[in-house]
């Protein structure tokens, strides 16, 4: 999951869910039996993390895992490290499950005996540490566990399973690359697409979900504020871009506070400002870097237009010509909002309640973070998608943190340490039960 907002408010209340009986009462026992295999896979993945777009060994291992239980694997697909595993099993719906493969340039400080000690060279030539600080190693272990459970019990369902290992979720671009290469044309087009993400607040053994918009549109925007530089002692002979940039930063705060509906969440953050080199020189330009968050496309486009309008107005008021108005560049690595199909969400939440018990299934608030899984639903025609949160915190550590008024390590933190066994088992149980429900109840 891309860059976290710590302001996220997580837990809602337990919903009164219509619990659906798990289609396979023997599933939990099967998962218990398979767990040692999955734990060794998890430990391997955790100790061998790789950065976005460089998940070569990770992809190789996941492809081997899927092949070994009967999936037809195409790799690489969607860049050099993506992979698609298909299990054909007669007539019926097609369900896609996605796991992301990449880790982060973070030095692990969990103190765990299996903590990552991996370093690598990044694209800039720097030596950087690598850690699965966003829990994608859990996601892959759950994907493989689900693949094994459903392959072993294929006499219980018919249809098609499409399991994908997606590269570069953290940098965005992996989902886009897979779709661009023809994921929905070269492989069976899914009737439903599912994914999960570990959660650093929910206790292991539980899951959380949110219907409708669950994660935000993420845009990175660069603004160049132009001026006319000169001597710092003669400001009257210049148009100072430092002053203009300062005014612009403050004026941009009025987009959310004064121009948008207070009930429509949005974020405009100026995270970086660079300009000038010396106190007595007025530079020609100043660079700003922003991140924008929103849910609807309309709001997203509106925010970008307002940034341009405010920038142009400021430049004009300072006496700059139209050619000198700020240049606003919306970067390509846009991540669209993730929208959980409400009907699908309701169905699967009922399956979860049946599999785990209602008290282990909670609603959570949407977050302003981004997740490129949303792209798998935004095709034409749209595919109903659902991403849920998988609790991963040791309940004892959560209780201790609450007693001491401490906050638990966030995702992307060097101290984020999911509790493997209940987390992975719960992930495999919920994902397998969800897929089985969709395969066994087509067209509901
Ligand atoms: Zn993530
Ligand atoms: Zn992340």
Range scoring the smallest mean pLDDT among 1-15, 33-47, 316-330, 359-373: 1-15
Distance 171 CA to ligand 1 centre (A): 10
CATH number of 11-216+337-440: 3.30.200.20, 3.40.630.10, 3.10.20.30, 3.60.110.10?
A: 3.40.630.10
pLDDT at 6 over 50: no
Distance 174 CA to ligand 2 centre (A): 13
Q: Which of 363, 353, 423, 365 is nearest to 390 (CA)?
A: 423
Distance 278 CA to ligand 1 centre (A): 40
Please report the DSSP string for 319-388 in residue order: T--GGGSPEEEE-S--BPPEEE-HHHHHHHHHHHHHHH-GGGEEEE---S---GGGGGG-SSS---EEEE
Return the biggest CA–CA distance within the chain.
Answer: 83
Q: What are the structure tokens assigned to 203, written together? A: 């206790």
Whole-angstrom distance, CA of residue 153 vs CA of residue 87:
12
Residues, beta carbon < 5 Å, ion ligand 2: 1, 134
Residues 383-411: tens digit of each pLDDT = 999 999 999 999 999 999 999 999 999 99
Distance 286 CA to ligand 2 centre (A): 30
Q: How confident is the model at residue 60 (pLDDT cuts 50, 70, 90)?
A: very high
**Mean pLDDT for the chain?**
94
Packed helices 27-47 and 136-152: angle between N→C axes, nearest 10 degrees: 140
Residue limits of CATH 3.30.70.360 in the chain:
217-330
pLDDT at 389: 98
Residue limits of CATH 3.40.630.10 in the chain:
11-216+337-440
Distance 411 CA to ligand 2 centre (A): 7
Q: How confident is the model at residue 9 (pLDDT cuts 50, 70, 90)?
A: very low
The structure's pTM equals 0.90
Q: How confident is the model at residue 8 (pLDDT cuts 50, 70, 90)?
A: very low
Domain spanning 217-330: which CATH class is it, in words? alpha beta
């Amino acid at each position: 999951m891309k860059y976290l907002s710590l302001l996220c408010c997580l837990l809602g209340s337990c919903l009164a869910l219509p619990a659906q009986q798990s289609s396979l009462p023997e599933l939990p026992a099967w998962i218990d039996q398979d767990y040692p295999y999955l734990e060794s896979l998890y430990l391997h993945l955790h100790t061998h993390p790789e950065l976005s777009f460089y998940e070569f060994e990770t992809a190789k291992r996941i492809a081997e895992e899927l092949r070994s239980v009967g999936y037809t694997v195409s790799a690489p697909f969607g860049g050099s490290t993506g992979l698609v595993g298909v299990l054909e099993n007669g007539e019926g719906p097609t369900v896609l499950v996605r796991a992301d493969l990449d880790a982060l340039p973070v030095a692990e400080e969990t103190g765990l005996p299996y903590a990552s000690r991996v370093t690598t060279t990044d694209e800039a030539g720097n030596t950087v540490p690598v850690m699965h600080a966003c829990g994608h190693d859990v996601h892959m272990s759950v994907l493989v566990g689900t693949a094994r459970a459903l392959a072993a019990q294929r006499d219980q369902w018919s249809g098609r399973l499409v399991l994908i290992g997606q590269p570069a979720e953290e940098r965005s671009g992996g989902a886009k690359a897979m779709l661009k290469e023809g994921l929905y044309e070269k492989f069976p087009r899914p009737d439903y697409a599912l994914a999960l993400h570990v959660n650093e607040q929910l206790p292991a053994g539980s899951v959380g979900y949110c219907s409708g918009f669950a994660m935000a549109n993420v845009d990175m925007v660069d603004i160049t504020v132009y001026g006319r530089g000169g001597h710092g002692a003669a400001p009257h002979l210049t148009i100072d871009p430092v002053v203009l940039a300062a005014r612009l930063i403050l004026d941009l705060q009025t987009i959310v506070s004064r121009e948008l509906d207070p009930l429509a969440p949005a974020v405009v953050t100026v995270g970086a400002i660079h300009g000038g080199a010396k106190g007595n020189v007025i530079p020609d330009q100043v660079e700003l870097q922003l991140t924008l968050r929103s849910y609807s496309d309309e709001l997203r486009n509106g925010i970008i237009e307002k940034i341009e309008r405010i920038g142009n107005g400021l430049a004009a008021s300072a006496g700059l010509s139209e050619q000198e108005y700020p240049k606003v560049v919306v970067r390509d690595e846009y991540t669209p909002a993730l929208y959980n199909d409400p009907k699908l969400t309701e169905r699967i939440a009922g399956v979860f309640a049946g599999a785990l018990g209602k008290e282990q299934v909670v609603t959570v608030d949407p977050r302003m973070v981004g997740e490129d899984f949303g792209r798998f639903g935004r095709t034409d025609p749209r595919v109903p998608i659902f991403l849920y949160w998988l609790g991963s915190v040791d309940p004892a550590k959560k209780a201790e943190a609450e007693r001491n008024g401490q906050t638990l390590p966030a995702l992307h933190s060097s101290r984020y340490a999911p509790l493997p066994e209940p987390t992975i088992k719960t992930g495999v149980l919920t994902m397998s039960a969800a897929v089985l429900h969709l395969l066994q109840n087509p067209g509901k």
